[in-house]
């Protein structure tokens, strides 16, 4: 059957289609109920019972995969390479699960995991899944303030961390960061568990502070089934305000969807080596470093390094050769970083890449120049695909396991089975071919997508389902061409994408506005050659403030680093006399962005005073902010 036949079946016979896919998994109790409406949205496989850790581990060991590598951990930062078989991973997970259970962690208990890219992070995730605890992995590059917000929302009983992380030659002192976050948070977790990466980290004397290895000595625990709809995890993502949104993922629907994608989207086979070069703190890491490859019996690569400077821009190609990687998935930023340092691909040619079949790109828009460069160099299919934390798995792309579609440069692809993707105008009508509009998905969403927001169903419904009744609002804008390919053009809200990391300019504005010298501000993403986008702030100082632009810039850079983290890559702030506003007082952020990027725009009819735009342009030109002025 071709792509269009299978896709049409997935939309017109939705329940049959997903019941067939669910059948591919070993359920403790197979579901009889497939899709149930609930509060304007839907839940999947409501009466099924399943355990994710059993599916990822026990089953493979029983079926003879025990001695196959489940994880290959490769850390150019420490020089370590470790091969962990399915049998060994099962052993570690069942021990750590027993340790957690000893602390009173059980079904529905929340646990935060704030760790570098080490195997113990995956052990912790699977151990939570084994005992029905809900994990929330917080990206290790976030600052204590971000961790504190997540602690207050998720209210974990336990935080699991490590003695340190590594960024090139810099150590990230997690214990200090966790202590600072707990101090700031109102909720105080009972326990903090640390994995010691080296001898000499012996400061675990505080109340509730425990050694990871001590938890490994509490026996083992068997997996027991939980309802399919039981939350597997909370994953916080940036929204338009300072408060992150806790995406909830169920278990059975997620397992069904991920299992489906491995064969049909990524075209892998059990036993293949799958490498998602992302971080376990992001959705790509959850779905394609941890759960999908292990569900499908693949070997997953856990890479604690960078595309460049570890030690050079040949790092990715070295990993592919060393571990015989079959499929690589990374962000366009990583490819741009490699291209910048090795434009002729001389390093690439040093390695044997014969095992590599395909490269997948996602996380941000892939510019055609990068796409062409890497396609020519690799001489293999390069597949852009589009999805988000909320979906948990690809929504647009090329389903390489099914015949019938080929990539088109610049396009994010065609809808993946289960997703009825549409482009709507502001009025809610279907947009014409080529006309840009809101990218939405007609309900019901397929299995595996967010089921709600953690303890905030109202925010879920308001933020995603109310704008266009009957549709899920993705927050992206785009258009569809005459051949049915979709093009994603960017966000319609205050979310930006820096090196594939999703961040909120709304949150940055809240922080910048909180500075005592600042009266008001606008933070927006401007184009960045390497990172895709980076945030900059335009600030209006309070009357009487004499602070220089350089001084306020230094203070604000420090503030964002401290509160969000260095990953925000906030480097510039420019003082302006006033901001362009509508007559009702709304800041015209999109217009400022257009000015910075040098894109044509129509003067908003609601603007209070158009002359302010010339002032802004002048300041941005002087401070070399924005693509138009560099």
Beta bridge partners of 172: 165
CA distance 51 to 170: 38
172 binds, among ligand AMP, ligand COA, none (CB under 5 to 8 A by kind): ligand COA
Return d(Cα 391, Cα 463) in angstroms, integer.
15
Taking CB under 6 A as the rule, does residue 384 contact ligand AMP?
A: yes
Of these partners, ligand COA, ligand AMP, none, which one is at the site of residue 345 (CB under 5 to 8 Å by kind)?
none
Residue 552 in tokens: 């306020």
> Whole-number minimum distance, CB 165 to ligand COA, in Å?
5
- Which residue, 256 or 497, has its beta carbon nearer to ligand AMP? 497
194 binds ligand AMP (CB under 6 A): no
β strands within 416-458, DSSP E: 421-424, 437-442, 452-453
Interacting partner of 337 out of ligand AMP, ligand COA, none (Cβ under 5 to 8 A depending on kind): ligand COA
Alpha-carbon distance of 622 to 630, in angstroms, equals 10
Question: Least distance (Å) from ligand COA to the CB of residue 499?
Answer: 4
167 binds, among ligand AMP, ligand COA, none (CB under 5 to 8 A by kind): ligand COA
d(CA 36, CA 15): 10
Q: Which of 237, 251, 259, 310 binds ligand AMP (CB under 6 A)?
A: 237
Q: State which residue, 105 or 147, has the beta carbon closest to ligand AMP.
A: 147
Q: Which of 371, 299, 307 is nearest to 337 (CA)?
A: 307
Nearer to ligand AMP, 161 or 330 (CB): 330
Least distance to ligand COA, CB of residue 164, Å: 10
Q: Is 403 exposed, middle or buried (0-12, 13-18, 19+ CB in 10 A)?
A: exposed
Using the minimum distance from each CB to ligand COA, give the nearer residue, 115 or 221. Answer: 115
Build a one-symbol-per-residue string for 468-487: x at contacts with ligand AMP by CB under 6 A, - elsewhere: ------xxx-----------
Query: What's the CA gap between 300 and 319, in Å, rounded?
Result: 12
Counting contacts by CB under 6 A, is residue 364 touching ligand AMP? Answer: yes
- Closest contact distance (angstroms) between CB of 327 and ligand COA is 15
Contacted by 308, from ligand COA, ligand AMP, none: CB < 5 to 8 Å by type:
ligand COA
The 3-state DSSP class for residue 113 equals strand
DSSP single-letter state for residue 310: S
Q: Please select the residue that binds ligand AMP; options are 157, 230, 385, 623, rule is CB under 6 A.
A: 385
Q: For residues 281-300, which are near ligand AMP according to CB under 6 A?
A: 283
Q: Does 504 bind ligand AMP (CB under 6 A)?
A: no
Q: Does 499 bind ligand AMP (CB under 6 A)?
A: no
Q: Which residue in 307, 374, 387, 310 sits closest to 343, CA to CA?
A: 374
112 touches 151 (CB < 8 A)? yes
**Cα(533)–Cα(538) distance, integer angstroms:** 16
Candidates 363, 392, 446, 447: give the one binding ligand AMP (CB under 6 A).
363
**Among ligand COA, ligand AMP, none, what binds residue 299 when CB lies within 5 to 8 Å by partner kind?**
none
User: Tokens in use for 615?
Assistant: 């002032």
Contact partner at residue 488 from ligand AMP, ligand COA, none, CB < 5 to 8 Å by partner kind = ligand AMP
Q: Is residue 285 a contact partner of residue 279, using CB atoms and an 8 Å limit? A: yes
Residue 110 interacts with, from ligand COA, ligand AMP, none (CB under 5-8 Å by kind): none
DSSP letters spanning 563-575: HT-GGG---EEEE
Min dist CB 94 to ligand COA, Å, is 29
Omega into 444 within 30° of 0, i.e. cis? Answer: yes
Q: Give dist(CA 494, CA 471) in Å, integer.
A: 20
Q: Where do contacts with ligand AMP occur on this chain (CB under 6 A)?
A: 237, 283, 362-365, 384-386, 388-389, 412, 474-476, 488, 491, 497, 502
């Amino acid at each position: 059957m071709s792509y269009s036949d299978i896709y049409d079946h997935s939309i017109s016979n939705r329940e049959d289609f997903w019941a067939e896919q669910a059948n591919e998994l070993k359920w403790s109790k197979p579901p009889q109920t497939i899709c149930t409406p609930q509060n304007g949205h839907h839940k999947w496989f409501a009466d099924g019972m399943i355990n994710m850790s059993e599916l990822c581990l026990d089953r493979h060991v029983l079926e003879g995969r025990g001695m196959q590598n489940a994880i290959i951990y490769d850390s150019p930062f420490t020089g370590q390479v470790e091969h962990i078989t399915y049998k060994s991973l099962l052993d570690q997970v069942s021990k750590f699960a027993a340790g957690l259970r000893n602390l009173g962690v059980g079904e529905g208990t929340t646990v935060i995991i704030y760790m570098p890219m080490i195997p113990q992070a995956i052990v912790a995730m699977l151990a939570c899944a084994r005992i029905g605890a809900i994990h929330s992995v917080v990206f290790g590059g976030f600052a204590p303030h971000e961790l504190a917000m997540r602690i207050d929302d998720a209210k974990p009983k336990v935080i699991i961390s490590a003695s340190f992380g590594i960024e090139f030659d810099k150590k990230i002192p997690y214990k200090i960061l966790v202590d600072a976050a707990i101090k700031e948070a109102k909720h105080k977790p009972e326990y903090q568990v640390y994995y010691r990466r080296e001898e000499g980290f012996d400061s675990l004397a505080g109340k509730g502070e425990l050694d990871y290895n001590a938890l490994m000595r509490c026996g083992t625990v068997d997996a027991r089934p939980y309802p399919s709809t039981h939350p597997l995890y909370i994953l916080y993502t940036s929204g338009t305000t300072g408060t992150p949104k806790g995406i909830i993922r169920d278990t059975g629907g997620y397992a069904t969807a991920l299992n489906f994608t491995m064969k049909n989207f990524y075209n892998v086979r059990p036993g293949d080596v799958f490498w998602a070069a992302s971080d376990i703190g992001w959705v790509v890491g959850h779905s394609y470093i941890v759960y999908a490859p292990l569900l499908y019996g693949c070997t997953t690569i856990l890479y604690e390094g960078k595309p460049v400077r570890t030690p050079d821009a040949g790092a990715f190609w070295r990993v592919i050769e060393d571990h015989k990687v079959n499929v690589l998935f990374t962000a366009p930023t990583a490819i741009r970083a490699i291209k910048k340092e090795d434009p002729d691909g001389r390093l690439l040619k040093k390695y044997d890449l014969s095992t590599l079949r395909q490269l997948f790109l996602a996380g941000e828009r892939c510019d055609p120049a990068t796409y062409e460069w890497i396609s020519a160099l690799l001489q293999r299919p390069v597949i852009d695909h589009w999805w988000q934390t909320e979906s948990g798995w690809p929504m647009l792309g090329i389903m390489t396991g099914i015949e019938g579609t080929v990539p088109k440069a610049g396009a994010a692809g065609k809808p993946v089975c289960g997703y009825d993707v549409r482009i709507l105008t502001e009025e809610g009508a279907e947009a014409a071919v080529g006309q840009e509009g809101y990218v939405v998905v007609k309900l019901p969403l397929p299995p595996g997508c967010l089921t709600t927001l953690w303890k905030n169903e109202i925010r879920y419904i308001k933020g995603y389902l109310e704008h266009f009744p009957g549709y899920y609002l993705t927050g992206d804008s785009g258009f569809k061409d005459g051949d049915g390919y979709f093009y994603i053009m960017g966000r319609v809200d205050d979310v930006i994408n820096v090196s594939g990391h999703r961040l909120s300019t709304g949150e940055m504005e809240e922080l910048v506005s909180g500075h005592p010298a600042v009266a008001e501000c606008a933070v927006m993403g401007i184009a960045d050659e390497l990172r895709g986008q980076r945030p900059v702030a335009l600030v209006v100082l309070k009357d009487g403030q004499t602070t220089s632009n350089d001084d306020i810039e230094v203070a604000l850079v420090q503030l964002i680093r401290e509160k969000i983290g260095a990953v925000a890559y906030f480097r510039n702030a420019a003082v302006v006399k006033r901001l362009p506003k509508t007559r009702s007082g709304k800041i015209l952020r999109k217009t400022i962005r257009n000015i910075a990027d040098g894109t044509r725009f129509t003067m908003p009819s609601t603007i209070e005073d158009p002359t302010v735009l010339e002032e802004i342009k002048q300041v941005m030109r002087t401070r070399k902010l924005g693509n138009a002025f560099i």
